[in-house]
Amino acid sequence: MTYKTILLVIDANQYETDLRAAADLCAAANAHLSVLLVKVAAPPQLGDYAALSVAWLDIRAAEIEQLDKAVEASRTTLKDHGISSDVAGEYTETAWDDDLVGERARYADVTLIGTSMDPSLRTRAIEGALFYSARPVLLATHRQSVTLLPKRILLAWNSSFESTRAAREALYMMRNAESVNVVLVDPTAAPRSNGDEPGADVATYLARHGIKVTVDRLPSAGRRVEEVLNQHALDTAADLIVMGAYGHSRLREKVFGGVTKAMIEAPIVPVLMIR
């Protein structure tokens, strides 16, 4: 599908770099940029109840004022860029920020997560969009700029529901790319998973959509799957990795780790994820 509405979720404490990058992204793709500035409320401090009440209210009032200023500054920046846009601010408690992002993400084609957010807020924003919006998430990186018109795409494939949805979501991008590498790590030939020739079925499906496909079956050689994917993305000069997210439960990923968790924490090239 084409992406006409991009939701950018940014931290009200540090947002200028991500905002300008998203504005350039939308200008290049002729897309509308919807900005959600999030300010997470400071938790109450321990102490005398009466003194605490006054001090805490003062802190919250200052935080809301900071958020309002960030919203106005963002509107001015986007007006200068001359793109279609809207900006909103949300002052929220930690327990609700993932739901908040998920609700807003339902009305966008993709949620863009920048590089300058507080790490805990960034993780909750990503999970909110993935679990509560049925929309993809696009992760930016410090290493290279993100684009909605990638020339070289790496599709991580393991025959799961999640990777199937990711492939379907990225069809338009892949159709307009110069090359697509379908990557399988340590694939096994089995009729009910990868088929007798791993990667052949999905390559045929993509080729029927006019996509230029190469199937790469890669050994892990003792490395983690995310390391193999990231290295191959660098080797093929990929502009984007497309992958399914959370093939295992979120709790299992947090406790034991997993490919999704690793790619969220340290993406090497921009990543498009969908659950």
Can you spell out the DSSP letters for 220-259?
-TTS-HHHHHHHHHHHTT-SEEEEE--SS-HHHHHHH--H
- List beta partners, residue 214: 181
pLDDT by residue (tens digit) across 53-85?
777 788 889 999 999 999 999 999 999 999 999
CA distance linking residue 253 with residue 162, whole number of Å = 15
More confident residue, 58 or 23: 23
Answer yes or no: is pLDDT of 115 > 50.
yes
Separation of alpha carbons 19 and 71, rounded Å: 11
Q: What is the pTM of this model?
A: 0.91
Q: Give 258's pLDDT tier (boundaries 50, 70, 90).
A: confident
pLDDT at residue 253, as a whole number? 45
Token digits of residue 44: 């109450």
Over residues 200-208, the mean pLDDT reads 96
pLDDT for 252: 43
Give Cβ neighbours of residue 80 (< 8 Å, ≥ 6 apart).
none
Answer for the pair 143, 22: CB distance below 8 angstroms, yes or no. no
- CA pair distance 273, 275, nearest whole angstrom: 7
Looking at residue 51, what is its pLDDT?
A: 56
| Calpha distance 180→186 (Å, rounded) | 19
Measured CA to CA, the distance from residue 11 to residue 90 in angstroms comes to 10
| pLDDT at position 251 | 47
Instruction: Output the pLDDT for position 181.
Output: 98
The pLDDT value recorded for residue 58 is: 83
Q: Tokens 């080729």 sit at which residue?
A: 207
CA distances from 89 to 22, 118, 214 (A): 17, 16, 44
pLDDT (tens digit, 9 = 90+) per residue, 152-197? 999 999 999 999 999 999 999 999 999 999 999 999 866 666 767 8
List, in order, residues 6 or more apart from 249 with CB less than 8 Å away. Answer: none
216-245 pLDDT, tens digit each: 999 999 999 999 999 999 999 999 999 999
